[in-house]
């Protein structure tokens, strides 16, 4: 469904929910999750329904993840970097995180 524009981009090591993955330099967190086959990046606070990246341009807020300990980051707007730690969000995030 999606095709990378730069297949020659160097790999970047990231961690998603404690699992090591390889992303590509230039990818956003949302793109890296999609490329890795991760079906959803958060669940809703009320019903627990899974949500996944939708608009990929920062409008819909469906791709919220915790990045390097900072919660509710829009994965579609955050570029990956070497050693990045990403956590999917389950329900609402805790205050101060």
Q: DSSP string spanning 2-52? A: ---S-TTPPEEEEEETTEEEEEETT-BHHHHHHHTT---SEE-TTT--EE-
Partners of 43 in the β-ladder: 50
**Helix H or strand E segment including 75:** none
Q: What pLDDT does residue 8 have? A: 80
Report the SS3 class of residue 95: coil
pTM above 0.85, yes or no: yes
Domains of the chain as residue ranges with CATH? 11-88 (3.10.20.440)
pLDDT tens, per residue, the chain with 97 residues:
566 667 788 999 999 999 999 999 999 999 999 999 999 999 999 999 999 999 999 999 999 999 999 999 999 999 999 999 999 998 876 655 5
What are 24's two structure tokens? 């590509």
Report the SS3 class of residue 76: helix
Q: What pLDDT does residue 97 have? A: 53
Q: What pLDDT does residue 18 have? A: 97
């Amino acid at each position: 469904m999606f095709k990378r524009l730069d297949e020659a981009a160097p790999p970047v090591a990231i961690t998603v929910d404690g699992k090591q993955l390889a992303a590509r330099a230039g990818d956003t967190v949302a793109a890296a999750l999609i490329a890795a086959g991760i079906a959803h990046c958060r669940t809703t606070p009320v019903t627990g329904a899974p949500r996944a990246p939708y608009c990929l341009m920062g409008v819909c807020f469906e791709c919220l993840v915790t990045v390097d300990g900072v919660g509710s980051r829009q994965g579609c707007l955050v570029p990956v970097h070497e050693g990045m730690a990403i956590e999917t969000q389950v329900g609402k995030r805790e205050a101060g995180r």
